[in-house]
Homo-oligomer: A and B are copies of this chain.
Amino acid sequence: MLALPPLYPIVDPAVVRDGRDPVDRARSLARAVLSGGAKILQLRMKGGPGGADAGDVLAAAKALRRLTRDAGCLFIVNDRVDIALLADADGVHVGQEDLPCVEVRRLVGSRRLVGVSTHTVDEARAAEADGADYIGFGPMYPTATKTDTRPQRTLDLLSEVKAAVGIPLVAIGGITEARIRDVRAAGADSVAVISAIMAARDPAAATRALGRLAAAS
């Protein structure tokens, strides 16, 4: 069974628009997150119109692979299995509209992790049956980083989902310092954080503070 670090930072360079190119931004955000002590890190760069070019996502993934390896940090790539393989990531994370878990597993084998975003008990059970190593569950709170989110989940539903599966659960969606304790108490093995780190004035300090809270609660 995978032991997930209690804090799961997601690096999404689109959250911060500072004029630099997205690859540079991803790299410097990852450096900050790692210096804040992260032991798992996901790269999320959505493609498509107005989004990131796959070539840039691969460049960022390779850069983050080097940084995370040096830091002894697990490295997960969102959505694109081809990029996860080329960057030699430790795993890939997919949503319900991405490639199905069983197909992802065919490509990545048993050595790499597969995480699946879920929103209901049924989706969580299906992900486990399909061989996911962990599930994401949310959104727990209002969040600005996803435009197409479903309605918020409740802490009670989180507990139900946690009870329904044997694999680790990562809570996601609008989780801040003030909310970590509740989410962990409801059963989250780990908490994914995007905005509270990406948009922080000092992302390294934010990672450190959130990581301490997550570990202590």
Contact of A49 among B49, B55, B96, B99 (CB under 8 A): B49
Which among B49, B50, B54, B82 is the interface contact of A107 at CB below 8 angstroms? Answer: B82
Q: Are B79 and A54 in contact (CB under 8 A)?
A: yes
Determine if B82 and A81 form an interchain contact, defined as CB atoms under 8 angstroms apart: yes
Cross-chain contact of A55 among B48, B86, B97 (Cβ < 8 A): B97
Bound-state Cα–Cα, A99 to B55, Å: 5
Q: Give the size of the chain A interface in residues (CB under 8 angstroms).
A: 28
B residues within 8 A CB of A82? 80-82, 85, 99, 107
Q: Are A147 and B49 in contact (CB under 8 A)?
A: yes
**Residues 91-114 of chain A: 1 if any B CB is under 8 Å from the residue's CB, otherwise 0?**
000101111100100110000000
| A58 surroundings in chain B (CB, below 8 A) | 99-100, 103
Query: Is the Cβ of B98 less than 8 Å from the Cβ of A86?
Result: no
Chain B residue with the shortest CB-CB distance to A48: B48
| CA gap between A83 and B83 in the complex, in Å | 12
Interchain CB contact under 8 A, B86 and A54: no
A125 within 8 A of B: no
CB-CB nearest in chain B for A79: B54
A contact set with B: CB distance below 8 Å: 46-51, 53-56, 58, 79-83, 85-86, 94, 96-100, 103, 106-107, 147
Q: Enumerate the 3 nearest inter-chain pairs by beta-carbon distance, A residue then B residue, closest first.
A: A48-B48, A53-B97, A81-B82
